Amino acid sequence: MANCPLDGYRVTDFSWVWAGPLLGMILADMGAEVIKVETKKRLDSARLTPGRSTVGPETDFVFHSMNRNKLGITVDMSDPRGAALIRELVEISDVAVENFSPKGLRNLGLEYASLREVNPKLIMISLPAAGQYGPLSDIVTYAPSLGALCGYSSLIGYPGERVLGEQTPYLDVNSAIHGAFAVLAALYYRERTGKGQYIDMAQIEVGASTIGEAFMEYFMNGRVMGTMGNRNPAMAPHNNYPCKGDDKWISIVVKTDGEWRSFCDAIGNPPWAKEVRFSDGFNRLRNQDELDRLVSGWTVEFTYYEVMDILQKAGVASAPCLDLTERFSDPHFEERGTHLQVEHPATGVDIIAGLPFTLSETPGAVRRPAPLLGEHNEYVFGKLLGKTGEEIAQLIEDKVIY
């Protein structure tokens, strides 16, 4: 940990599901001691994702990936003694992370205003769906409804067809990254001033910030952007094209007339490539349907790696549409350690995402697997908070710690 940039910082992580835990994971990967607070009364749903709920809460790979490097405790925060333990932990922490609705920790007396009383230098970040105030502040959402609320989902679908929306936690991931940046900025401010602060980060506002092009189109041109499939209003060809094999596809993007000429050279300059209807970007955009059909006629004769090799050598942006299995076996990802194998006591070897960035002097690392339920109770309550064995035993008997 001495070679990690956040070595020496401690984080109390109240969060669950995706956005908050991923934020905590980033801090933990960079060396912070992140203590995940859980309760057996209501398990983190990341421990029970579809397909894993019948196997048990210790075996879920989603949880293992987002909570590696963390310590884990179990405490009943609804019990006044449990809430008191949390206040003691926050008192010796630098950061607190939570992504409940605003009333979540407030109902337990563990909101920022209360925690600041025990630790004025605390930096606390909340990642609710719609922020800590406003008419929508108490709404309950998950990733698809977040995308729908901020307008992002309305852009996903094929031209002229119904909106498909997103079914991935895209905004959770973006919120986690934005949140980690905000925490680091607050830590930097505290280093200079000695002052802690509160960070209110609405996930729908993060989502809105990712679709600036759509906002500009509306405010500057009075047009509401809609579904475009894989196309782009300024580039053609710009799509996914079929390749040799069962449901194999290649993504190809041509931005300039120079790239178009390189593309035509790479595919052997077929007669249709010289037609006026494809002579410049404007004409290619007007004739995208036919252009996509002709490009598909060429790509389908090759595997997607063959197409990528041909086009990339010509300076044309292209890449295979890899499924999850193919991504794990891709030689580039393997060489860069994009995925790591980590031993976990409940599952053996887990394959989890590696660190997405590497600092040359303080690179960070995956040092330990995700915690078992209450795995570090003795360390946190005993060593960090100084509770005696008898006190801990009584708290366990009373199901305050369990």
Active site residues: 172
Which of 57, 65, 10, 18 has its CA nearest to residue 352?
65
Angstrom distance (rounded) from CA 3 to CA 192: 23
Angstrom distance (rounded) from CA 346 to CA 24: 22
Which residues lie below 8 Å from residue 117, measured CB to CB, with a gap of 6+?
none
Q: Helix 170-193 to helix 143-150 angle, to the nearest 10 degrees? A: 80
Which residues lie below 8 Å from residue 11, measured CB to CB, with a gap of 6+?
24, 27, 28, 32, 33, 34, 35, 93, 94, 95, 96, 97
Angstrom distance (rounded) from CA 184 to CA 29: 14
Tokens for 248, please give them. Answer: 């194999």
Residue with tokens 């990528």: 308
Which residues lie below 8 Å from residue 326, measured CB to CB, with a gap of 6+?
320
Q: Where are the alpha helices (DSSP H) in 92-242?
A: 103-106, 112-118, 143-150, 170-193, 203-209, 212-221
Q: Give helix then strand counts, H and E, for the chain.
A: 17, 11
Secondary element (H or E) of residue 34: strand 33-38
Which of 246, 241, 247 has its CA nearest to residue 307?
241
Angstrom distance (rounded) from CA 187 to CA 193: 10
Answer whether the bond into residue 237 is a cis peptide, omega within 30°: yes
